[in-house]
Amino acid sequence: MALSIVWTGMLVLAIVCACALGTVPQTAAAMMDGAQKGVSLSLSLAGILCLWSGACRVMEAAGISRRIARLLRPLLRRLTHGCSPEAMEAAAANVSANLLGLGNAATPLGIEAVRRMRRDETATDAMCRFVVLNTASIQLLPTTIAAVRGAAGAAAPFDILPAVWLTSAAALAAGLLAAWALGRVWSRRGW
């Protein structure tokens, strides 16, 4: 539903601007052109997306995700303080799936973790922290973005990795710090 509003809003903005700025012919042409570009973008993503989906399956089978989950346990224990071991297990699996870029596997695991943490209709501190952890993307290999860069002729599509890691870590630290600080002042009653 949110996307319907966003998409329609984008169209309204484009058409209002086209009329006001006198760019109607360009905008009309861009409609056809944009759809075509969407197709060529999708096709240009196919190669790297397939290759890295394959690589992720291999990493999973090699037990790398389980090893990551074990490494993360001390951190997650602090983060999901006061939760059942089952909830923590699901949380660890969710985080390691996220790290490997297995978005399709990560979401159901994350939902399971939140379900196991649930007490009533109000989010607990652990749940807030866990969801913040999930909204600050922590991905070792942003393959889709590398595919987009490769398609646009990047010299080395993966050369953004250090910047992505540093940025993810900073965003995660800021989010968790904010969650920790807000958790001390936000009452359990509030929304």
Q: What's the rounded Cα separation, in Å, for the pair 176 and 62?
A: 31
Least separation in angstroms between CB 98 and another protein: 9
What type of residue is 10?
M
Cα radius of gyration rounded to whole Å, the chain = 21
Q: Which is nearer to another protein, 18 or 77 (CB)?
A: 18
Nearer to another protein, 77 or 165 (CB): 165
Q: Are 188 and 122 in contact (CB under 8 A)?
A: yes
Q: How far is the CB of 74 from another protein (least distance, A)?
A: 21
Least gap, CB of 148 to another protein (angstroms): 5
Q: Which is nearer to another protein, 73 or 118 (CB)?
A: 118
Segment 58 to 117, residues that bind another protein, using CB under 8 A: 58-59, 61-64, 104, 107, 110-111, 114-115, 117
Does 38 bind another protein (CB under 8 A)? Our answer is yes
Measured between alpha carbons, how far is 136 from 162 in angstroms, rounded to an integer?
16
Residue with tokens 């993360």: 72
Nearer to another protein, 43 or 85 (CB): 43
- Backbone dihedral angles phi then psi of residue 189, each to the nearest 5 degrees: -80, -35
Per the listing, tokens 């006001």 go with: 20
- Which residues from 122-141 bind another protein, rule CB under 8 A? 122-123, 127-128, 131-132, 134-137, 139, 141
Residues 150-189 that bind another protein (CB under 8 A): 150-168, 170-176, 178-179, 182-183, 186
CA distance 4 to 71: 41
